[in-house]
Amino acid sequence: MAFETSRLLGFGDCDPAGIAFFPGYMRLLVSVTEEMFAASGMPWPAMIRERRIGVPTVKLDVDFVAPAFHGDELDFRVSIARLGGSSADLRHRVAVGERTVWTARQVLVATSLESHRAIRWPDDVRAGLAAHLETNDARDPAA
């Protein structure tokens, strides 16, 4: 099941003409991803401070489809296309109403904040992420 949430496109996310500016979109993408983890029982502050687990983005591919404007409500839909041993392939769709404004493919990797190397997803984190898999066969069989 996809994770869904909304964000208002604020003044600071736009250029002087009131059109969304891509750095604002990236800030929103990070905040939505963080919210998805928290809603799945894995708040980033606890993962980072207590468990010393990071989730850096190692790949990000964004397609800008249509403009959005200051004051628009952006509807985010995030799903996981594939869940590997230490990685998660996220798919983002951002819309204003029925109109898609941008999509993104993002790869996150679980890392140790001590060694800065990839680690396997802990079982509880994996279970939280698995709730957002697009299909039941999107899990890596070696994971």
N-term to C-term CA, the chain: 20
Spell out the residues 6+ positions from residue 16 whose beta carbon is closer than 8 angstroms to its own.
none
Told to judge if 137 belongs to the known catalytic residues of this protein, a careful annotator would answer no
State the Cα torsion 24-49-36-93 to the nearest 10°: 40
CA pair distance 69, 12, nearest whole angstrom: 11
Which DSSP symbol is given to 121? P
Distances (CA, A) of 54 to 85, 91, 139: 15, 19, 21
Q: Given 13, 15, 89, 124, which residue is catalytic?
A: 15
CA pair distance 58, 73, nearest whole angstrom: 28
Query: Which residues are marked as active site?
Result: 15
